């Protein structure tokens, strides 16, 4: 085929002062979002139009973010930068809220993030018809129809408090009459259209022009080999969307949550905003959006700089026929996640639970239930415990009870007979012991409903109680990161057995930090107990590095070279050799601070922070590492760094896999034409300074399993 030559341009929460000993930070990336987008396929827009005008939706507009997904509902919203979750909000209007912070829709810190305020997340509505309503009968809207937008908001939640110069902003928008480029549409065509025959090939760096029916000058630079039967996706035409002119309607400056509560006597405050400018807003296409200003910590230590300045927005409602006093809703709801029934852990090995079940279960639970209406409701509550893959079932009947309005009474209280039966229900059951089984999963589903058939209101929250082969104080969600800033420091995490066992592995979650600054060596350690603090060192594994994941539930596993017998109380942790914060994931929803110790001055101290470190001991008999059941199979990827390499030297890492026996791997280096230029046994540091400048393909092959992993490296020496 014709070869075209072109020039390939490459482009590349909490924070303490430098003298502090412990560090808790926000997250550099959002692993839940990363997992979600990795499996999505972008939808192609309508190719028959150059300008796309979205179909407007009709009033009323409502979203309480009580949903399964982590992105805003596309039936209401046009973007997906906020994180929909129940972990960051602290007693919001109901379970689930939209969290605004300093990371983008791909889970990474915004590229323009700095110590000066920058715009973080946006949440933009679809266009809304504010010119007319159609039920119960069509009519034009006027100012007399009394249109209000209301929402709840809170700063910080369980995240990092926005500073006074940070803010949350609400804007209204309408079409300006101009249009802007929305995206470049694409088309998928057969590679055979560009080839002379079945034996011809498109090579990397070839220029491939789009079909003639697309806009002119649309092309791509091939990044791999394409054969006669392959399909190629090419840019096709520019697609425009109407330009929106925005006007600020409301804003709030940043503050700590405790300051917010002292000011408003609420953890989550409702705002009512009338829409009265009929000339500007009462149109077929009306929009509103929220966005936040954020600013990174001023410290120059990159390993401390990560996600900051959270805001939570909830219960957004836009409709006509409202008033300034329309601040209540015919709704009853839970406002926090379903709690674990275990007394000491969020999850634990089935064998350890079975050895002392009555001591491992709580006597009662704590639920937060709210009535958002201005009248009391007679409600019915109960919880179901089921075994999805087994016969066990249990039902706790909490009975009926009156639930007074939240604005005058607060959450349902435990200090009365019927209120205690649902706000603090008894845990009057025991999970089955499952003799002969090594794992189990149970679901605990809490349900509250209106007492009569005519009361269709209600809410449900569910906990998945897991018994596998590990202990966990955490729920797997890292709202922050933890570390110490001492090059001779140590961190230890206490666990207690019900019977003697064997430690096989340690699982940890590391947050990404600015420029991967926490990619530092550390030693993994296990200690015996010494009168309530770490004592004799039982195990030490040298020169490990953090392993990073793209998914919330891909907690990385460090398999011990030798099994460690353990008895009663033991500690797992690390020793470090730099001042950098390793930034281990910290669950701020659960608190295991009584079990976390650090040593930077030659003696052990308890942590001064609340939270649960995402660090888990794996115990029991020998097991297949690929069969650890609390996580899906990891996605294995090969990476090289620094990339580009300016001196021909680079390091390689296989992400998402346990430490492998390096003797079973070989590294192959090829140029873009497929010619092998290097072949050597596996090594973490590669000297390719003898190769000419250019792009190369790295292939790491497992000679025992024939599995192969590839990536690219650019040499610029």
pLDDT > 90: percent of the chain = 54
Collapsing DSSP to helix, strand or coil, 257 comes out as helix
Q: Which residues contact 298 (CB under 8 A, 6 or more apart)?
A: 115
Confidence of residue 43 (pLDDT cuts 50, 70, 90): very low
User: Environment class of residue 538 by beta-carbon count within 10 Å: exposed (0-12), middle (13-18) or buried (19+)?
Assistant: middle
Task: Enter the DSSP assignment of 594.
Answer: G
Q: What is the pLDDT of residues 250-261, one digit of tens each?
A: 999 999 999 999
Predicted pLDDT of residue 300: 64
Is-cis flag, bond preceding 174, omega within 30? no
Predicted pLDDT of residue 663: 57
| Residue 582 or residue 213, greater confidence | 582
pLDDT > 70: percent of the chain = 86
Architecture category of domain 480-627 in CATH: Sandwich (2.60)
Predicted pLDDT of residue 603: 95
637-715 — its CATH code?
2.60.40.3580
| Mean pLDDT, rounded, for 412-433 | 88
pLDDT at 178 over 90: no
Confidence of residue 454 (pLDDT cuts 50, 70, 90): low
| Mean pLDDT, rounded, for 179-187 | 83
Partnered with residue 208 across adjacent β-strands are 220
**The pair of three-digit structure tokens given for residue 83, joined into one six-digit string:** 């994180």
Nearest to 506 by CA among 470, 550, 545, 536: 470
Confidence of residue 456 (pLDDT cuts 50, 70, 90): low
| Residue 27 or residue 612, greater confidence | 612
| Mean pLDDT, rounded, for 449-474 | 85
Residue 223 to residue 246: CA distance in whole angstroms: 40
Residue 525 to residue 528: CA distance in whole angstroms: 10
Partnered with residue 493 across adjacent β-strands are 572, 596
Residue 278: CA count within 13 A, CB half-sphere: 9
Q: Which residues contact 624 (CB under 8 A, 6 or more apart)?
A: none
Predicted pLDDT of residue 301: 67
| Residue 154 or residue 422, greater confidence | 154
pLDDT at 218 over 60: yes
pLDDT at 303 over 90: no
Predicted pLDDT of residue 4: 35
| Residue 83 or residue 697, greater confidence | 83
Q: Which residues contact 706 (CB under 8 A, 6 or more apart)?
A: none
Nearest to 78 by CA among 237, 241, 196: 241
pLDDT at 716 over 90: no
Confidence of residue 291 (pLDDT cuts 50, 70, 90): very high
Nearest to 475 by CA among 28, 32, 156: 32
pLDDT at 554 over 60: yes
Q: What is the pLDDT of residues 48-69, one digit of tens each?
A: 446 777 889 999 999 999 887 8
Nearest to 101 by CA among 358, 293, 368, 258: 293
54-166+254-319 matches 480-627 in fold = yes
Class level of CATH domain 54-166+254-319: mainly beta
Predicted pLDDT of residue 272: 97
Q: What is the pLDDT of residues 681-700, one digit of tens each?
A: 888 889 998 898 877 878 88
Q: Are 123 and 77 in contact (CB under 8 A)?
A: yes
Task: Enter the DSSP assignment of 216.
Answer: T
In 488-608, where does DSSP find H-type helix? none
**The pair of three-digit structure tokens given for residue 571, joined into one six-digit string:** 């500690």
Of 74-83, 585-594, 652-661, minimum mean pLDDT range: 652-661
**The pair of three-digit structure tokens given for residue 485, joined into one six-digit string:** 């800033």
Predicted pLDDT of residue 6: 31
Predicted pLDDT of residue 316: 97
Do β-strands 708-715 and 694-702 pair in parallel, antiparallel, or remain unpaired?
Answer: antiparallel
Please state the domain extents for the chain.
54-166+254-319, 179-242, 348-467, 480-627, 637-715
pTM of the model: 0.72
Query: How many other C-beta atoms are found inside a 10 Å radius of the C-beta of residue 471?
Result: 23
| Residue 388 or residue 630, greater confidence | 388
Confidence of residue 553 (pLDDT cuts 50, 70, 90): very low
Residue 175 to residue 240: CA distance in whole angstroms: 13
Residue 394 to residue 90: CA distance in whole angstroms: 30
Task: Enter the DSSP assignment of 664.
Answer: G
Compute CA 628 distance to the chain's CA centroid, rounded to the nearest angstrom.
22
Q: What share of the chain is helix, strand, coil (3-state, %, to 5)?
A: 10, 40, 50
Collapsing DSSP to helix, strand or coil, 47 comes out as coil
Q: Are 157 and 87 in contact (CB under 8 A)?
A: no
Longest dimension (CA), the chain: 84
Q: Are 207 and 162 in contact (CB under 8 A)?
A: no
Nearest to 545 by CA among 571, 579, 574: 574
Partnered with residue 77 across adjacent β-strands are 125
**pLDDT mean across residues, the chain:** 85
| Residue 621 or residue 397, greater confidence | 397
Residue 588 to residue 614: CA distance in whole angstroms: 10
| Mean pLDDT, rounded, for 492-516 | 91
pLDDT at 106 over 80: no
Predicted pLDDT of residue 625: 54
Please provide the DSSP assignment of 465-504 as one string.
Answer: EEEESB-BSS-S--SEEEEE--TT-EEEEEEE-SS-EEEE
Predicted pLDDT of residue 641: 76
Predicted pLDDT of residue 614: 96
pLDDT at 552 over 70: no
Q: What is the pLDDT of residues 122-167, one digit of tens each?
A: 999 999 999 999 888 899 999 999 999 999 999 999 999 999 999 9
């Amino acid at each position: 085929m014709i070869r075209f030559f072109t020039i390939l341009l490459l482009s590349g929460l909490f924070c303490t002062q430098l003298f502090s000993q412990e560090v808790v930070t926000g997250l550099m990336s959002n692993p839940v979002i990363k997992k979600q987008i990795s499996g999505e396929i972008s939808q192609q827009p309508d190719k028959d139009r150059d300008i796309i005008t979205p179909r407007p939706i009709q009033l009323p507009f409502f979203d309480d973010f009580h949903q399964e997904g982590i992105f805003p509902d596309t039936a209401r919203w046009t973007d997906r930068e906020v994180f929909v979750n129940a972990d960051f909000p602290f007693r919001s209007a109901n379970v689930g809220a939209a969290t605004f912070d300093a990371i983008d829709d791909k889970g990474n810190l915004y590229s323009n993030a700095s110590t000066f305020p920058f715009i973080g997340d946006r949440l933009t509505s679809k266009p809304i018809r504010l010119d007319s309503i159609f039920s119960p009968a069509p009519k034009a809207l006027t100012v007399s129809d009394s249109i209000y937008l209301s929402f709840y908001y809170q700063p910080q939640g369980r995240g990092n408090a926005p500073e006074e110069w940070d803010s949350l902003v609400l804007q209204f928008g309408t079409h300006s009459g101009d249009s802007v480029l929305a995206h470049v549409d694409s088309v998928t065509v057969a590679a055979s259209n560009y080839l002379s025959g079945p034996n011809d090939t498109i090579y990397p760096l070839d220029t491939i022009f789009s079909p003639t029916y697309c806009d002119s000058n649309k092309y791509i630079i091939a990044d791999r080999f394409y054969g006669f039967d392959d399909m190629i996706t090419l840019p096709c035409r520019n697609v425009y969307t109407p330009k929106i002119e925005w006007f600020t309607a409301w804003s709030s400056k940043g503050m700590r949550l405790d300051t917010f509560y002292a000011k408003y006597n609420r953890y989550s405050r409702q705002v009512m905003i009338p829409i009265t400018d009929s000339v500007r807003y009462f149109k077929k296409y009306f929009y509103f959006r929220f966005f936040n200003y954020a600013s990174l910590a001023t410290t120059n230590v990159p390993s401390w700089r990560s996600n900051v300045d959270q805001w939570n927005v909830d219960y957004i409602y836009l409709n006509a026929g409202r008033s300034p006093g329309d601040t209540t809703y015919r709704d009853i709801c839970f406002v926090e996640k379903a709690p674990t029934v275990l007394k000491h852990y969020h999850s634990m090995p089935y064998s350890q639970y079975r050895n002392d079940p009555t001591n491992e279960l709580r006597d009662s639970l704590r639920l937060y239930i709210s009535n958002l209406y201005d009248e009391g409701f007679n409600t019915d509550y109960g919880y179901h415990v089921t075994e999805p893959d087994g016969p066990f079932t249990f039902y706790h009947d909490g009975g009926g009870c009156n639930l007074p309005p939240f604005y005058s009474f607060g959450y349902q209280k435990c200090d009365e007979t019927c209120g205690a039966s649902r706000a603090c229900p008894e845990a009057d059951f025991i999970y089955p012991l499952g003799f002969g089984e090594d794992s189990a999963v149970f679901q605990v589903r809490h349900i509250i409903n209106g007492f009569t058939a005519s009361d269709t209101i209600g809410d449900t929250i569910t906990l998945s109680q897991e018994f596998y082969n590990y202990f966990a104080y955490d729920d797997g969600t890292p709202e922050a990161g933890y570390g110490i800033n001492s090059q001779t420091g140590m961190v230890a995490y206490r666990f207690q057995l019900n019977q003697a066992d064997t430690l096989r592995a340690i699982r940890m979650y590391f947050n990404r930090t600015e420029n991967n600054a926490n990619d530092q060596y550390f030693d993994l350690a296990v200690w015996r107990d010494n009168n309530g603090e770490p004592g004799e060192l039982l195990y030490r594994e040298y020169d490990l590095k953090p392993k990073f994941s793209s998914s919330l539930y891909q907690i990385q596993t460090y398999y011990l070279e030798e099994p460690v017998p353990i008895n009663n109380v033991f500690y797992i942790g690390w020793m470090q050799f730099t001042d950098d914060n390793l930034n281990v994931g910290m669950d701020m929803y659960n608190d295991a601070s009584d079990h976390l110790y650090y040593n930077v001055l030659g003696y052990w101290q308890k942590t001064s922070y609340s939270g649960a470190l995402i660090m888990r001991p794996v115990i029991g008999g020998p097991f297949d590492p690929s069969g650890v059941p609390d996580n899906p199979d990891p996605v294995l990827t090969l990476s090289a760094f620094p990339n580009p390499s300016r001196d021909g030297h680079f390091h390689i890492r296989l992400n998402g896999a346990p430490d492998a026996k390096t003797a079973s791997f070989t590294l192959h280096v090829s140029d873009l034409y497929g010619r092998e230029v290097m072949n050597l046994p596996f090594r973490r540091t590669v000297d390719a300074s003898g190769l000419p400048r250019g792009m190369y393909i790295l292939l790491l092959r497992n000679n025992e399993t024939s599995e192969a992993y590839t990536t690219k490296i650019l040499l610029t020496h």
